[in-house]
Amino acid sequence: MTVAPRSPPAAESAGGAPAAYRSRPHEPFLVHRGLRYLWVAAAVVAASVVAYAIHRPRLGVANGGTWLGYTLGVIAAALVLWLAYYRIRKRRYGVGRQPLTAWLSAHVYLGIAVVVVATLHAGFELGPNVHGLTWVLLVVVVLSGIVGALAYARYPRQMTRNRAGVALDDLLNQIATLDAECRAASLDLDDALARAVHAAGTDTRIGGGWWRRVVGRDDRCPTRHALDLARSRARDAVGSDARPLRRLITLLARKDALVGIARREARMRTLLGLWLYVHVPATVGLLTALALHVVSVFWYW
Ligand code: HEM
Ligand code: HEM
């Protein structure tokens, strides 16, 4: 059996769950302290919308260059910097008074609020230029974040249920034991079947490339092939010839089921980390575009 569950960095660093889960494993971050940060974010959004609605700019057009435009721009940029700081905060365990769950909860809700603040800052003037690019990157970061938050709310629980509480290492050990038993059970059977059982032990892949892991199955799985072959032999066998085949079928079927569980685990681990390949690079792009945006507006001022 080949086990290559190369999970993306986040899923690995989080051991299959977001870092926030490890500080308080039983508290879902989306409802941390009765949705406290949802209310904070709603207040930020409401204050920005009201200020935008009552604001009367001198030239009659709301934009980033009015006093309200600057205020909202600075608030949006400060929030972006604070949200990006989460990468550092999450790696410093036990530091600070707030648990990581609180940080992640605030991260999620204030991260969504920042889109509203930045859009009002721009006065809805979104063109194909470095300013518009800053806004687009912000939206990409936020959308990928929403995908990630949904994945974190869903997969860790599904993973535990999938393995019925059994640790992944134990599952892999059980598969290895079954491999050895299958090989022993196939010793007295015909060559083709013995070869198929041997291949099931050496060539069955659980991990592999990220696409294979996301698909979560292998249509040419050697274990399934050996199982199908053993079943077809059993259909033709009579009397005592069928007994060793039935034992082999039981073992292979058990292994096939465990391999299915391990593949689903690898799939969920991958999905749990995949979105970060968008979230983190887009954050770097956003910080760069934001710096260019601020420099360019002051340059042409
Ligand atoms: C996440 C943060 C920010 C985003 C997404 C953002 C995005 C934008 C966008 C899309 C525009 C409209 C550009 C246009 O009219 O074509 C704009 C305008 C502007 N922004 Fe920002 N901005 C942010 C932060 C800031 C900050 C921190 C400052 C300065 C301290 C700033 C200063 C300005 C100014 C002065 C304008 C008006 C430019 C003009 O009308 O020519 N922005 N911003
Ligand atoms: C401007 C907005 C945002 C920025 C700059 C930002 C930036 C970041 C950064 C730098 C990380 C750390 C990644 C790592 O090293 O593992 C992170 C993690 C994360 N972000 Fe965001 N983010 C933003 C908005 C959002 C939003 C709106 C959501 C969800 C609705 C979100 C959900 C998450 C989640 C679930 C994590 C992983 C948490 C963990 O592993 O503990 N982010 N974000």
Domain boundaries, the chain: 16-163+275-299, 168-273
DSSP-assigned letter for residue 241: G
pLDDT at 266: 92
Q: What is the pLDDT of residue 140?
A: 98
Name the average pLDDT for the chain: 88
8 A C-beta contact, residue 237 and residue 245: yes
Does the beta carbon of 291 sit less than 6 angstroms from any atom of ligand 1? no
pLDDT digits (tens, 9 = 90+) for 197-216: 999 999 999 888 888 888 88
Q: CA-to-CA distance for 22 and 184, rounded, in angstroms?
A: 42
Backbone angles phi, psi at 2, to 5 degrees: -105, 120
pLDDT score, position 24: 45
Q: Evaluate: CB of 207 within 6 angstroms of ligand 1.
A: no
Q: In this predicted model, which residue has the larger pLDDT, 9 or 180?
A: 180
Q: Choose the weakest-confidence range: 7-16, 136-145, 240-249, 285-294.
A: 7-16
pLDDT at residue 232, rounded to an integer: 94
Q: Which residue has better confidence, 21 or 2?
A: 2
Instruction: Name every protein residue with a CB atom under 6 angstroms from any ligand 2 atom.
Output: 10, 14, 18-20, 80, 83-84, 86-87, 90, 104, 107-108, 111-112, 114, 138, 141-142, 145-146, 148-149, 152, 276, 279-280, 283
Which of 47-61, 102-116, 175-189 bottoms out in mean pLDDT, i.e. has the lowest? 47-61
3-state secondary structure 131-197: HHHHHHHHHHHHHHHHHHHHHHHHHHHHHHHHCCCCCHHHHHHHHHHHHHHHHHHCCCCCHHHHHHH
Ligand at minimal distance from the CA of 64 is 1
Q: Which two tokens stand for residue 16?
A: 């299959």
Tell me the pLDDT band of 19, cut-offs 50, 70 and 90: low
Q: What is residue 117's predicted lDDT score, i.e. its pLDDT?
A: 98
pLDDT tens string 83-134 = 999 999 888 866 676 778 888 999 999 999 999 999 999 999 999 999 999 9
Which span out of 28-42, 100-114, 231-245, 280-294 was modeled with the highest average pLDDT? 280-294
| Ligand 2 atom at minimum distance from 14 CA | 40
- Ligand 1 pocket mutation, candidates 82, 121, 135, 138, criterion most atoms within 8 A of CB: 121
pLDDT for residue 47 is more than 90: yes
83 CA to centre of ligand 2 in angstroms = 7
b/e map 135-158, b = 16+ CB within 10 Å: bbbbebbbbbbebbbebbeebbee
Q: Which numbered ligand comes closest to the C-alpha of 102?
A: 2
Residue 17 confidence (pLDDT) above 80: no
59 or 191: which leads in pLDDT: 191
The confidence score (pLDDT) of residue 5 equals 41
Site to substitute for ligand 2 among 40, 107, 141, 152, most atoms within 8 A of C-beta: 107
CB 264 within 8 A of CB 162: yes
Question: Which pLDDT band, with edges at 50, 70 and 90, does 14 fall under?
Answer: very low
pLDDT value at residue 207: 82
Q: Which amino acid is at 222?
A: P
Q: In the predicted model, what is the mean pLDDT of residues 156-170?
A: 89
Tell the residue nearest (CA) to atom 7 of ligand 2. Answer: 84
Picking from 265, 274, 21, 58, the residue whose alpha carbon sits closest to that of residue 164 is 265
pLDDT band at 2 (very low <50, low <70, confident <90, very high): low
Residue-level pLDDT at 170:
93
**For residue 300, which atom of ligand 1 is closest to its CA?**
41
Q: Which residues make beta-bridge pairs with 205?
A: 2
CB of 77 sitting under 6 A from ligand 1: yes
**Cα(37) to centroid(ligand 1), Å:** 26
pLDDT, residue 137, reads 98
Give the whole-angstrom CA distance, residue 20 versus residue 25.
8
pLDDT at 296 over 80: yes
